[in-house]
Amino acid sequence: MPFKSGDILDLDIDTLAYGGQGVARRHGFVVFVRHTVPGDRVRVQIVKNKRTYAEARVVDLLSPSPLRVPPPCGHSETCGGCEWQAIDYAAQLELKQQQVVESLQHIGGLRDYTLEPIKGMTIPWRYRNKMEFSFGTNEAGDLLLGLHKRSSWREVSETTDIWLAPEEMNRARQAVATACRALNLPPYSQVTHQGLLRHLVVRKGFASGDLFLNLFVTSRFREEEALAARVAEVQPYSSFAITVNESRADAAVGVGPFMVVGPPWFNEEILGVKLRVPALGFLQTNGIMVEALYDVALRWAAPAAQRSAYDLYCGIGALSLLLAHRAGHVYGMEIVTDAVAAAQENARLNGITNASFLAGDVRKLLRETTTAGGEPPAVVVTDPPRAGMAKKAVERMAALGAERIVYISCNPTTLAANAAQLTTLGYRLTRVAPVDMFPQTHHIETVALFERQ
């Protein structure tokens, strides 16, 4: 091992690994350095050694990369939100496309496919339709409401303006924080496990303008209506909800929502399909680029009018209902029962009768489907969680015998692993289209088309 912890050395950053860490090499040994950009020359200190790589922290930026740009947000050095805003956006797109290609090649051994140019945003800001904020305190004990600081799950940075969020989301956050201070409501402490206020989740319907505020607390409290009224005076909203999290888990989960104002959903519309999105219902986070993403998926799916289609991990049914306009019948599968109920309600809302939704583990539902036999579907669309699909689920998806599989992925490394497995099950990767759903961060969405051989 060429280094030991504490060593100081000068390195040139060659590229970015998936996850956003800079990659440098010394004598064939890889060193990962956070908060760096390809083209940087940095002085670093080794903080961790492994058999095949080391990790280091930046001590000094000796020579900045030409890819660097001044971050527009004044909190970029401390906030853990958008870690790529110091990289020119055109360079971000190139790096993301490169990471998709490298993941497919190095993990999946896949090279022979048509790669479409990455789809980026014209204005890569204010795109998020969901923001999760955390409560905390400063050194003086004053209440804060913002995002976690870099590499910290306890400290909170209360930024004046979060550039990934629409302006009304920022106003709502500030209004909630001001009202909570005025009402003397205490934030929850991860150290003492005392206090009331835990998280605020704000969701927006880009087509409707609806704003859904969901306050996560340790218990119900008597000032709920007063708090909602104070916030409404500053930033109007369509719904204000309370969700109770009595556990020690530092996550926006719990029992609810208990509605203080408005319905337990907000309205959205995607490519002509109207949606009621429940408080915890999944929706693609980029409210501007979601139509571009689904347009690629629908073109490649090309469901036949007299044939069935499957939508795995269907959530509240947005893509299922778009497929239903083109397919004979669509079968959506989703493990979250509330999401399935929302999908069924959205089908009724749109007058769609050729879509059925099944609640349960997709892997188990697929086993029942494949053993039942019948005509193979024309297409299967799958949009799994970041961890990708389990091997058995991929096997059962392939056993359906669909002509095409359209795989929507938010993690190119797990896409590559699943793609490699599909090639052993009679499918060939033919097209890949990266879509930048997460500008200013390392995350990238990818649509992949597999065709049965």
> Residue 292: its pLDDT value, please?
98
Residue 373 has pLDDT above 70, yes or no: no
Query: In CATH terms, is domain 130-264 a member of 1.10.10.10?
Result: no
Average pLDDT of span 338-357: 98
Average pLDDT of span 423-441: 97
Q: Taking a C-beta distance cutoff of 8 angstroms, is the pair 108, 100 a contact?
A: no
Average pLDDT of span 423-434: 98
Q: Taking a C-beta distance cutoff of 8 angstroms, is the pair 343, 312 a contact?
A: no
Residue 304 has pLDDT above 90, yes or no: no
Determine the Cα–Cα distance for residues 150 and 452; give it in Å rounded to an integer.
45
Residue 36 has pLDDT above 70, yes or no: yes
Average pLDDT of span 332-356: 97
- Beta strands (DSSP E) in 184-328 are 197-204, 211-217, 239-244, 255-261, 265-270, 273-278, 308-312
- CATH topology for 8-63? OB fold (Dihydrolipoamide Acetyltransferase, E2P) (2.40.50)
Higher pLDDT, 73 or 432: 432
Question: Residue 337 has what DSSP assignment?
Answer: H
In this structure, of 8-17, 75-84, 173-182, 228-237, the range with the lowest mean pLDDT score is 75-84
Higher pLDDT, 241 or 149: 241
Active-site residue, from 73, 82, 314, 410: 410
Question: Residue 376 has what DSSP assignment?
Answer: P
* Residue whose token pair is 């709920």: 224
Known active-site residue 410: yes
- Kindly report, residue by residue over 203-226, the tens digit of the pLDDT: 999 999 999 999 999 999 999 999
Predicted confidence band at 1 (pLDDT cuts at 50, 70, 90)?
low
Residue 27 has pLDDT above 90, yes or no: no
Query: Backbone phi, then psi, for 398, in 5-degree steps?
Result: -65, -35
Determine the Cα–Cα distance for residues 143 and 177; give it in Å rounded to an integer.
8
Q: Taking a C-beta distance cutoff of 8 angstroms, is the pair 279, 243 a contact?
A: yes
The CATH 3.40.50.150 portion of the chain extends over 98-121+286-452
Predicted confidence band at 161 (pLDDT cuts at 50, 70, 90)?
confident
Average pLDDT of span 305-313: 94
Average pLDDT of span 379-406: 97
- Kindly report, residue by residue over 241-250, the tens digit of the pLDDT: 999 999 998 8
Question: What is the pLDDT of the chain when averaged over all its residues?
Answer: 94
Residue 385 has pLDDT above 80, yes or no: yes
The CATH 2.40.50.140 portion of the chain extends over 8-63
Q: Taking a C-beta distance cutoff of 8 angstroms, is the pair 132, 444 a contact?
A: no
Percent of residues, the chain, with pLDDT higher than 90? 84
* Cβ neighbours, 10 Å, residue 74: 11
Residue 368 has pLDDT above 70, yes or no: yes
Average pLDDT of span 367-377: 80
Residue 160 has pLDDT above 90, yes or no: no
The CATH 2.40.50.1070 portion of the chain extends over 130-264
Sheet (strand 143-148) strand order = 156-157, 143-148, 130-137, 197-204, 211-217, 239-244, 255-261
For domain 98-121+286-452, give the CATH superfamily. Vaccinia Virus protein VP39 (3.40.50.150)
